[in-house]
C-alpha cells in the first residue's frame, strides 16, 4: 500500500474512472476503492480521502444516483449507480481521453521517427 512505484492518479481522471466502474455495476464507496485498486493492478494510487468528495460531486451533478441497499455483508451500504446523463458523460470523457492519449502517442512517435 505504500509502494513508491505507484502513481498518484492524474488530476481530473478520477471522475471518469469512478463513472466507468459504476457503469459495470452499481457499487458502494468501499467497493469502488477496491475495484480501482484491483483493476489498475495497484499501479494507480487513489487517495481514498478524495473518493468521497468525488462521489458526492458526481451525485450532485446528476451523473450518479445513490441508494441505500443491503451489501454483500448484510449491512446497509450506499450504492451508486450510473444515470442516463452519467452514461453520456462517461462516453464523452472516454472519447476525449482517447483523443488526448492518441495525440500524445502521435507526438512521441513523431519524435522517435525523425
**Site residues for another protein per CB under 8 A:** 1, 28-30, 33, 47-50, 52-53, 56-57, 60, 71, 73, 75-78
What is the 8-class DSSP label of residue 6? Answer: P
Q: With respect to another protein, which residue has the nearer C-beta, 17 or 28? A: 28
Nearest residue to 27 via CA among 78, 96, 74, 75: 78
Q: Find the shortest distance in angstroms from Cβ 23 to another protein.
A: 20
C-beta of 96: minimal distance to another protein in Å?
23
| Residue 17 vs 54, nearer CB to another protein | 54
114 CB-side CA count, 13 A: 5
CA distance 50 to 29: 11
Q: Which three cell numbers stand for residue 59?
A: 451525485
Task: Look up residue 101 and give its three cell numbers.
Answer: 492519449
Residue (66 or 94) nearer to another protein, CB: 66
Nearer to another protein, 53 or 102 (CB): 53
Amino acid at each position: 500500500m505504500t509502494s513508491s512505484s505507484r502513481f498518484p492518479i492524474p488530476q481530473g481522471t478520477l471522475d471518469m474512472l469512478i463513472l466507468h466502474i459504476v457503469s459495470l455495476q452499481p457499487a458502494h464507496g468501499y467497493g469502488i476503492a477496491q475495484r480501482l485498486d484491483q483493476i489498475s493492478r495497484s499501479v494507480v494510487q487513489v487517495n481514498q480521502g478524495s473518493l468521497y468528495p468525488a462521489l458526492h460531486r458526481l451525485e450532485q451533478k446528476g451523473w450518479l444516483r445513490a441508494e441505500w441497499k443491503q451489501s454483500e455483508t448484510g449491512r446497509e451500504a450506499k450504492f451508486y449507480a450510473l444515470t442516463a446523463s452519467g452514461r453520456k458523460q462517461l462516453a464523452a470523457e472516454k472519447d476525449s481521453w482517447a483523443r488526448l492519449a492518441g495525440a500524445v502517442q502521435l507526438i512521441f512517435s513523431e519524435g522517435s521517427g525523425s
